[in-house]
């Protein structure tokens, strides 16, 4: 079963605007990661946030984590056409950190 559910399923914004997508999960986690998938390609790791962290930044990316609500958000600022892709959250839980459970993804389209 899917651990994470992304919201919205699809998002279209104008280039230069900010994009926010959310991920909710069901069980306690060790950490949460975000991945990007360009059409027809494999996934690429973007950022990781641990369960004891609340916010993390990497370039134009900002990730927040609220463990009390079992949710995370990914903000992409000043969007570019190259940001058009699907974005997935993935979590690890339990004793091992080797397995990821992926959400269903948000399809982001940046309109030039």
Partner 1 sequence: NAGVTQTPKFRVLKTGQSMTLLCAQDMNHEYMYWYRQDPGMGLRLIHYSVGEGTTAKGEVPDGYNVSRLKKQNFLLGLESAAPSQTSVYFCASSPYTGTRVPEQYFGPGTRLTVT
Would you say 53 and 67 are in contact if contact means Cβ atoms under 8 Å apart?
no
Instruction: Say how far apart CA 5 and CA 106 lie, in whole Å.
Output: 9
User: Per DSSP, which regions of 51-105 are E strands?
Assistant: 55-58, 61-66, 71-76, 85-92, 101-102
Query: Among all chains, which residue has been given the structure tokens 């389209």?
Result: 109
| Pair 77, 18: CB distance under 8 Å | yes
Query: Between 5 and 15, whose beta carbon lies closer to partner 1?
Result: 5
Per-residue contact string for residues 75-104; x = within reach of partner 1 by CB under 8 A:
-------------x-x-x----xxxxxxxx
73 in contact with partner 1 (CB under 8 A): no
Query: Closest CB to partner 1 among 40 and 59?
Result: 40
| Cβ 44 to partner 1 shortest distance, Å | 7
Rounded distance, CA 100 to CA 112, Å? 34
Site track 38-67 with partner 1 (rule: CB under 8 A), x = hit: --xxxxxx--x-x-----------------
Binding-site ranges for partner 1 (CB under 8 A): 1-2, 4, 30-31, 33, 40-45, 48, 50, 88, 90, 92, 97-105
């Amino acid at each position: 079963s899917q651990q994470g559910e992304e919201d919205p399923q699809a998002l279209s914004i104008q280039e230069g605007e900010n994009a926010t997508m959310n991920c909710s999960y069901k069980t306690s986690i060790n950490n949460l990661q975000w991945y990007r998938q360009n059409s027809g390609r494999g996934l690429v790791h973007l950022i990781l946030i641990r369960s004891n962290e609340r916010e993390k930044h990497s370039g134009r990316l900002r990730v927040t984590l609220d463990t009390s609500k079992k949710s995370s958000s990914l903000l992409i600022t000043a969007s570019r056409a190259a940001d058009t892709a699907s974005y997935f959250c993935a979590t690890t839980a339990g004793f091992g950190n080797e397995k990821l459970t992926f959400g269903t993804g948000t399809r982001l389209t940046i309109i030039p």
